[in-house]
Amino acid sequence: MTNAEFQAVVLAAGRGTRLPEVLGDAPKCLLPVGPYPLLWYPLNLLQQHNFSEVIVVVLEQEKLEIQSAMENTPLKLKLDYATIPGDSDFGTADSLRYIYDKIKSDFLVISCDLVSNVSLYPLINKFREHDASLALLLFPSGFEADVVMPGPKTKHKPERDVIGIHAATQRLAFVSAASDCEDTLNIQRHLLKNRGRLDVYSRLVDAHLYVLKKWVIDYLHRKENISTFKGEFLPHLIKKQHAKRPPKTVQDTTSEVGVVTKNEDHVLHYVPHTILDQKISQTSLFNQSLSHGPYHGDVVRCYAIQAPKDAFGVRVNNTLSFLAINRKLSGIWNDLCGESHPLISPGALVKSTQTKEIIAADNAKLSEKTSLNFSVFGPNCVINPKNIVNNSIIMSSAVVEEGCNIDNCIIGHRAQVKTGSVLKNCIIGPNYVVEEGTHSQAVHLSNADQYMEIDIQ
Amino acid sequence: MAQFEKEIVQAILIADNNVWNFKPLSDEGSTALLPLVNVKMLDYALIALNRSGVEEVFVYASLYLQDIRDHIKAGIATYASWSFKMTVHVIGGEGCRCFGDAMRDLDAKALIRGNFILLGADTVTNADLRPVLEQHKRQAKFDKGTAATLVFKECSNNVRTGNEVLIAVDRRNDRLHYHQRLRTHQKESRYQIPLDVFLGNSCVALHHNLLDPQIAIGSPSMLSLFSDNFDFQTRDDFVRGLLINEELLDSRIYVALLPDTQYAHRVNNWPAYQLVSRDIINRWAYPLVPDMGVYKLQQQYVFHKDNIYKSHEAFVSKVALQENVVIQAGSHVDSGAVISDSVIGANCRIGKNCRLNNVFLMADVTVKDNCRLEHCVVGAGATVNEDCEVSGGCVLGAASELPAKTKLTGTLVTSTPSTQKIDELEGGELELESLGPKAFIISDLTTGDPEDSDGEDFLPQQMLSIPKMGDRLALLDEISYCSDLSDDDDDASRAVTPLADDTNIFLGEVIDSLTRGFREKSNPDFLILEINSSRYAYNMSLKEVNFNVVKAIFGMQTIVEPANNNVLVAFNAAFKQLGPVVSNYIKTEDAMLDCLKALEDVCEENPLVREKISQVVHYLYVKDFVSEDAIQTWYGQLEEQEHGHLRQRLAKLVEWLDQSSEKDDDDEDDEDED
C-alpha cells in the first residue's frame, strides 16, 4: 500500500443537501446514475487509472448500506472504508483531518459526485513535473445547460467560481466564489507583477479532484479551524504560494500589531525543502523566465489543468445535474466506461419495442406497448403498458400505471403514478401517490412536509 | 472588392498632446519638433506611418501650427525619407485645446473616409501596422459597433513612465473590457476590477505588463463619437466612456498586441525620453537607428563599437567616448572629456575635462571646461559655464546660460522670466528664482497631471512634479506585497483586512522616502510631496500622518542602529536634514501631541531612544518643533503605572520647563506669536 506513488481518497460522506427532492433517505453517494450508484463512477475512474486500493470516507451509519451496494457492482478495487461519526457536522477538510493517519504518501482526493471520462494522467504529470503542492482539474460548465429543471420554477442560480490562472505556467493565482465577491474583484499586485498574462475564467467548474502532496495534509491537520476543503483550505493554500520564509531576525519596525508568527504555524515549516532541493534548483538549468529564479522562488505551487474539450465531466450535486447526467448517460456511456457494462441490466425485463436511449436497472419491468425515450428506470420499477415516458427518471420501485404520459419528470422511490396521469416537468417525491387522471405541470408533489425545501443560494 | 482597392490608407497624427511634461522646452517650441537622438519626434512618427503603408497623413497641430507646417514643407523639399509615396497635410487651429477638440475638428472637416491609423507625434515605433489594420477591418465587418482597435506592446514591469496600463481583454475576440492606467508615482497594492467583467465572459485575460504607445486604429465612427460626446477630452476619456456606456453608445473597442520583435514606445515625459533614446542608440528600434539615415536619406554617422555614432564632421580629440554616444556634425569635444550614454546635437562645444553621463544636448550648446553633467537635457543654444554640476533630471531651456560654478539637481531652468504661465500654478504664487541674467528656476509643480486623468478621483489636489530623468529608471523597487503580513490573523475570513495593513505599508513607505531623502539630501518639499501622495494612496487621516511621520524618522536605519550607539548624533543629523518635513506636519498643538505620542511608541521599541528621551524632547523643544504646553499636556497624560520610567526620565525636563516659564512669563505671549 505505502509503496504506491499516490493514495486515493473518495469523499462520500456528503449529505446531499442540494438534492432533497430525489434523495429520499438514501445516502447521497448511492443515488442511482444509470445502472450504478453515484459512488461507482469516481471509483471506476480510479480503477481505469490502475489504482488498486481506495479509501472511501463514509458516514458511520451509512457504511453497511454503501458496502453492500458497492459489492453488487463489478468493481475490482479494494475499498477501505473510513467512517466518520454520523452525528458530527464534518466538512470536507474535517473529514480529511479525521483520516489523517491513513495518508502515507501523496494522494488524490475525489468527491463522490464526480462523473467524468477525463484522463487523469495530464493532471498527475503536471503535478509530478513541477513538484507541485496541489493540482486540480477544471471542466467547462454547461453540461446541464439544455436541461429544464422540473418542479416549480425557481431562480436557479448556479454557483460560480472566478478562477485565475497564469497563462504561461498554468499556476493557479486565485479561486474565489463569485458570490463571495461584491461588485469588484480585488487582485493583488504580486499576482500580476512579473508573471505575465493572467487568465480569469468564470465558466469553469472545479471537478473537486485534487492531487496533493503528503505535507499538505500535515498542514491541514494543524489548521484546525478550517472546515471545508474547497471553500476555505484551497484558497488558503493558493494564497500561501507567495509566502516567503520569515526572516530569521524579526526586526519589527513596521508592524504595530506585533504579529507573532509561531514557526510551526507557518506553511513553509511543512514543505520539505532539503539542502539537496536547494542545490538542485541552483544547479538546474530549468527556468521559465529570464529575470527570475525558477517559480519566482515559490515553494508552494498550485496548478490547474483544464480538461480537454472532448472530455466531459459533471458534478452530480444538485437535482438538475442529477437529471442531466441520467438523461444523457446513454449517449456518453461508451466514453465513460466502455462496452463492458450493459446499460440494460440482464435482470431487467424489457418488453417494450419502442425504446430509444434508455437505461434499465435490475428487475425493472418495462411492459409492452410503451414508448420510452431518453429515460432511466431504476431497480424494481414497473411501467405498465400504454405509457409514454420521455426524458424522465423513474426511481427504484416506482410504479407507473396504464395510459400515462410522463415528460421531463423525476418519479421518486416507491412512488405511484396512477392511470391516465399526464405529468410534465414534475418532481414526484418518494412514496407519493399520484391520483388517477392527474394533469400537472411544473409542480413538486411530495408527502406532507417530509422534506423541507432548503434553498442554498 | 473594387471599392476596397480604391480606398487609400489614411492616418491622423496629433502633435503637441503632452505639453506640460516637457517644460521648459515645450514653452519655447512644439514638442513634436523636439529632437530625439537628433531627429525630430514628428519625423519618427511620420516614418512609422510611411513604413506601415499609409498614403495620406493629416498632421493636426494647434499651438505651433506654423512651425510644424514649415517643418513639413522643408521635409518635402529636402526629400525626407517619409515624403515618398505619402502626402502630408498639416491642419489645425488655435482653438483646439485638447485631443478631443482635434478629433471633433477632424470630424467636422470630414477628411477621413474610412478606417484610419491614429498616432501621436510622440510615438516611436518600427511596427508594421498593416496587419493590425487588417484585423480591425475584419473585426469591423463582424461587429458594426467597432469603434477602435488599440495597440499595446508588452514591456517589463519595473519601469513606469506613465504609459503602462492594466487591461482586461476577452480571450475569444480580443475585446477590451477594462482599462486602467498605472500610476507613475506610487504602486498599487491591489487592483479592483468590476466582477461583471469576469462573470460576463468565460475567459478574460488580464495584462499587467503592457505599454500603451498611443497607437490606435479608428473606425469612422470614432470621430463622430468624439463629436457626440463633447466631454471626451483625451483618448483615455474615450476609452473609459465607451467601456462605461458600451450599450448606450453601441460601440466596442478591441485590442491588438504587437509582436515581440517590434518596438513601440511613447515619449511623453523626460524619463521616457531617456529610455527611448537609449533604446534607439541600442538599436532596439531598428531600422530607426542613427546610422540608418532616418529622416535624411544620407549617412550621417559612422557606427563604432559600443554603440558610438560619430559624425565625420565632429571633432573629438583624445576624448573617451565610452559607450552609447551619438555626436552630430560640427561638434567639438576638447581633451580630457569623458562621455557616456549621451546624445550631442550639431555644433556643440564641450570643454576640457567635462564629464557627461546621460546628457542630451540639443544643437549649438556650449559646455565649458570642468563641468559635470548627469541626467539632464540642455536646450538649443544654451551655455553651461565653467565648473558647473548639473544632475538629477535638470532641464535647461533654450538659450539659457548657467553662471560658472552653479550646482543644480532636479530643477528646470529657463532663459527668460516670462515664459511661466501663471494660471497653471495653484495659488498663483510665482517665484522665479534667478540664477543669473539668463537663467531662472521655474516651478514644476502642478495640480494633477493632465495626462494622468484616469479617474483616480481620490487624489484631488495632489501636487505632482514633472517626472524627471534619473539613474534608477527602475523607480519601483521590488517590494513584494507578501500576503503573509496580513495573513496569519485572517485565516478564518478570506478577505484581507486592509486597515492594519495599510498603516504599516504607509509607515514603511514614509520610512523609505525619508531614508532616501536623508541619504540623497533631496529637497524636503519633494519628500513632503512623496509622503502626501502615500497618504492619499492609503487614505490616512492627518492624525495618523503626523504620528507616522515622526515614527518613521525614528524608524530610519541610521537611528535604529546608529554609529557608535550614539543615537543623539544620528538624531541630530536626521533632524537637520529632515526638519522642514517634520515642521510641515507638526504645526498645531494637536499635531505636537501626536508627535509626542509617537515618541512614546518609539521609546517602547527602541531602548537607545528610551535612554535619551529627555534630551530628544528637549531638542524638539529647543528647535521649536513642540511647544512647552504640548509637553506639559503630554506629560500630564502619561500614566503613572504604564509609563513610570518615562515619567521619571522626563520629570527633570518638565521641572526645568516650569522654572523657565516662570522666569520669562512676560515674554511667552510674544513667543507664541512668532
Length of chain A equals 457
Amino acid identity, position A286? F
- Asked whether residue A329 is domain-assigned, the answer is no
pLDDT given at position A339 = 65
Alpha-carbon dihedral angle through residues B97, B98, B103, B104, given to the nearest 10 degrees: -50
Q: At A432, give phi and psi (nearest 5°).
A: -80, 145
- Asked whether residue A80 is domain-assigned, the answer is yes
| B387 lies in the same domain as B242 | no
| A111 lies in the same domain as A216 | yes
- Name the pLDDT band for B478 (thresholds 50, 70, 90): very low
DSSP B396: E
Substitution target from B195, B497, B504 for chain A, most A beta carbons within 10 A:
B195
CA-based nearest residue to B580, from B531, B543, B508 = B531
Distance from CA of B97 to the nearest CA of A (A): 35
Whether residue A145 has pLDDT greater than 90 = no
Distance CA A40, CA A79 (A): 11
Whether residue B365 has pLDDT greater than 90 = yes
pLDDT given at position B657 = 80
Verify whether the Cβ–Cβ distance B487 to A239 is below 8 Å.
Answer: yes
Distance from CA of A190 to the nearest CA of B (A): 6
For residues B450 and A186, the model is more confident at A186
Distance from CA of A451 to the nearest CA of B (A): 32
**Average pLDDT for chain B:** 80
pLDDT given at position A264 = 56
Which residues, other chains included, contact B234 with Cβ-Cβ below 8 Å and sequence gap of 6+?
B98, B99, B100, B451, B453
pTM: 0.73
Complex ipTM: 0.81
- Asked whether residue A454 is domain-assigned, the answer is no
- Tell me which of A319, A354, A369 is where a domain ends: A319
| A311 lies in the same domain as A377 | no
From chain A, the residues in CB contact with B204 under 8 A are 199-202
- Cell digits of residue A72: 453488487
Distance from CA of A216 to the nearest CA of B (A): 16
A 10 A CB-CB count for B107 gives 18
| A315 lies in the same domain as A377 | no
Distance CA B321, CA B340 (A): 6
Substitution target from B154, B157, B183, B198 for chain A, most A beta carbons within 10 A:
B198
pLDDT given at position A296 = 74
Window from A134-138, B226-230, B649-653 with minimum mean pLDDT = B649-653
- Name the pLDDT band for B482 (thresholds 50, 70, 90): very low
A433 bridge partner residues: A416
Average pLDDT over residues A336-343: 73
- Cell digits of residue A179: 458570490
Distance CA A135, CA A128 (A): 10
DSSP B75: H
CA-based nearest residue to B124, from B276, B9, B235 = B276
Name, of A19-33, B129-143, B633-647, the range with top average pLDDT: B129-143
For residues B315 and A20, the model is more confident at B315
Q: At A229, give phi and psi (nearest 5°).
A: -80, -55
B167 bridge partner residues: B179, B207
**CB A151 within 8 Å of CB A21:** yes
Whether residue A35 has pLDDT greater than 50 = yes
Verify whether the Cβ–Cβ distance A162 to B187 is below 8 Å.
Answer: no
CATH code: domain of residue B330: 2.160.10.10
Distance from CA of A262 to the nearest CA of B (A): 10
- Name the pLDDT band for A348 (thresholds 50, 70, 90): confident
| A304 lies in the same domain as A395 | no
Does A290 touch chain B if contact means CB atoms closer than 8 Å? no
CA-based nearest residue to A319, from A33, A11, A13, A66 = A33
Q: Beta A359-360 vs A376-377: how paired, if at all?
A: parallel
| A307 lies in the same domain as A378 | no
* SS3 at position B640: coil
pLDDT given at position B486 = 38
Note the pLDDT tens digit of each residue in A370-393. 888 888 888 888 888 888 998 888
Closest CB to A254: pick one of B196, B487, B507.
B507
Structurally, how many domains does chain B consist of?
A: 3
- What is the gyration radius of the CA atoms in chain A, in angstroms? 25
Q: Which domain does B424 fall in, by range? A: 300-442
| A311 lies in the same domain as A422 | no
pLDDT given at position A448 = 56
- Tell me which of B266, B284, B309 is where a domain ends: B266
| A405 lies in the same domain as A303 | no
| A346 lies in the same domain as A232 | no
Sheet with strand A399-400: strands edge to edge: A349-350, A365-366, A382-383, A399-400, A416-417, A433-434
Verify whether the Cβ–Cβ distance B488 to A244 is below 8 Å.
Answer: no
- Name the pLDDT band for A10 (thresholds 50, 70, 90): very high
- Cβ burial, residue B22 (10 Å; 0-12/13-18/19+): buried
Whether residue B253 has pLDDT greater than 90 = yes
- Asked whether residue B447 is domain-assigned, the answer is no
Q: Please give the angle made by the CA atoms of B494, B495 and B500, to the nearest 5 degrees.
A: 120
pLDDT given at position A149 = 79
Distance from CA of A103 to the nearest CA of B (A): 24
**CB A6 within 8 Å of CB A38:** no
- Asked whether residue B472 is domain-assigned, the answer is no
CATH code: domain of residue B13: 3.90.550.10
- Asked whether residue A263 is domain-assigned, the answer is no
CA-based nearest residue to B411, from B382, B440, B381 = B440
- Asked whether residue A25 is domain-assigned, the answer is yes
Residues 298-357 of A with CB under 8 A from B: none
- At what angle are helices B41-51 and B65-77 packed, to 10 degrees? 60
* C-alpha pair distances (Å), B492 with each of B90, B381, B487, B489, B502: 64, 67, 10, 8, 20
From chain B, the residues in CB contact with A196 under 8 A are 209
A 10 A CB-CB count for B634 gives 22
From chain B, the residues in CB contact with A160 under 8 A are 199
| A211 lies in the same domain as A167 | yes
* C-alpha pair distances (Å), B171 with each of A198, B254, B439: 11, 11, 55
From chain B, the residues in CB contact with A178 under 8 A are 195, 198-199
For the four alpha carbons of B558, B560, B565 and B567, in that order, the dihedral sign comes to positive
Whether residue B645 has pLDDT greater than 80 = no
Distance CA B353, CA B334 (A): 8
**CB A129 within 8 Å of CB A297:** no
* SS3 at position B290: helix
DSSP A344: B
| B155 lies in the same domain as B65 | yes
**CB B94 within 8 Å of CB B128:** no
Distance CA B492, CA A236 (A): 10
Distance CA B296, CA A441 (A): 82
- Asked whether residue A270 is domain-assigned, the answer is no
B11 bridge partner residues: B57, B117
A 10 A CB-CB count for B6 gives 7
From chain B, the residues in CB contact with A253 under 8 A are 511, 555, 560, 605
First to last CA, chain A: 41
Whether residue B667 has pLDDT greater than 70 = no
Distance CA B42, CA B58 (A): 12
From chain B, the residues in CB contact with A180 under 8 A are 494
Peptide bond before residue B24 is cis, with ω within 30 degrees of 0: yes
- Tell me which of A275, A304, A319 is where a domain ends: A319
For residues B395 and B450, the model is more confident at B395
- Asked whether residue A195 is domain-assigned, the answer is yes
Q: Where do the DSSP E strands lie in A278-401? A: 302-306, 313-315, 349-350, 354-356, 359-360, 365-366, 371-373, 376-377, 382-383, 388-390, 393-394, 399-400
Q: Which domain does A367 fall in, by range? A: 342-445
| B307 lies in the same domain as B376 | yes
Distance CA A257, CA A240 (A): 21
- Asked whether residue A456 is domain-assigned, the answer is no
- What is the gyration radius of the CA atoms in chain B, in angstroms? 29
- Asked whether residue B467 is domain-assigned, the answer is no
From chain A, the residues in CB contact with B156 under 8 A are 291
**CB B146 within 8 Å of CB B139:** yes
Distance of CA B606 to the CA centre of its chain: 37
First to last CA, chain B: 83
- Tell me which of B416, B442, B468 is where a domain ends: B442
* C-alpha pair distances (Å), A351 with each of A363, A374, A383, B512: 12, 16, 10, 84
With cell 520564509, the residue in question is A245
DSSP output for B515-567? HHHHHHT--HHHHHHHHHHHHHHHT--HHHHHHHHHHHHHHSHHHHS-GGG-H
**CB B290 within 8 Å of CB B296:** no
From chain A, the residues in CB contact with B207 under 8 A are 197
* SS3 at position B468: coil
DSSP B83: G
CATH code: domain of residue A437: 2.160.10.10
| A225 lies in the same domain as A113 | yes
| B262 lies in the same domain as B304 | no
| B331 lies in the same domain as B254 | no
- Asked whether residue B292 is domain-assigned, the answer is no
3-state helix, strand, coil in chain B (%, to 5): 40, 25, 40
Average pLDDT over residues B566-583: 80
Note the pLDDT tens digit of each residue in A221-264. 888 888 888 888 898 888 888 776 655 434 334 333 444 444 55
| A205 lies in the same domain as A113 | yes
Does A146 touch chain B if contact means CB atoms closer than 8 Å? no
- Cell digits of residue B428: 498663483
Substitution target from A170, A191, A198, A200 for chain B, most B beta carbons within 10 A:
A200
Closest CB to B480: pick one of A186, A190, A255.
A190
Percent of chain B with pLDDT over 70: 85
pLDDT given at position B543 = 82
- Tell me which of A270, A286, A319 is where a domain ends: A319
Note the pLDDT tens digit of each residue in A148-164. 777 777 666 677 889 99
- Tell me which of B266, B283, B315 is where a domain ends: B266
Distance CA B659, CA B665 (A): 10
**CB B155 within 8 Å of CB B257:** no
* C-alpha pair distances (Å), B192 with each of B49, B165, B567: 37, 14, 43
Does A284 touch chain B if contact means CB atoms closer than 8 Å? no
Q: Which residue of B has its CA nearest to A184?
A: B194
pLDDT given at position A55 = 93
Structurally, how many domains does chain A consist of?
A: 2
Note the pLDDT tens digit of each residue in A67-121. 988 888 888 889 999 988 877 778 888 889 888 888 989 999 999 989 988 899 9
- Name the pLDDT band for A411 (thresholds 50, 70, 90): confident
- Asked whether residue B394 is domain-assigned, the answer is yes
Does A51 touch chain B if contact means CB atoms closer than 8 Å? no
Distance from CA of B322 to the nearest CA of A (A): 27
Distance from CA of B203 to the nearest CA of A (A): 4
- Asked whether residue B541 is domain-assigned, the answer is yes
Burial B366-401 (b: 16+ CB within 10 A, else e): bbbbbbbbbbbbbbbbbbbbbbbbbbbbbbbbbbbb
CATH code: domain of residue A35: 3.90.550.10
* SS3 at position B46: helix
- Asked whether residue B580 is domain-assigned, the answer is yes
From chain A, the residues in CB contact with B257 under 8 A are none
Note the pLDDT tens digit of each residue in B516-569. 888 887 888 888 888 888 888 887 888 888 888 888 888 777 777 776 677 777
- Asked whether residue B287 is domain-assigned, the answer is no
Does A192 touch chain B if contact means CB atoms closer than 8 Å? yes
| A367 lies in the same domain as A225 | no
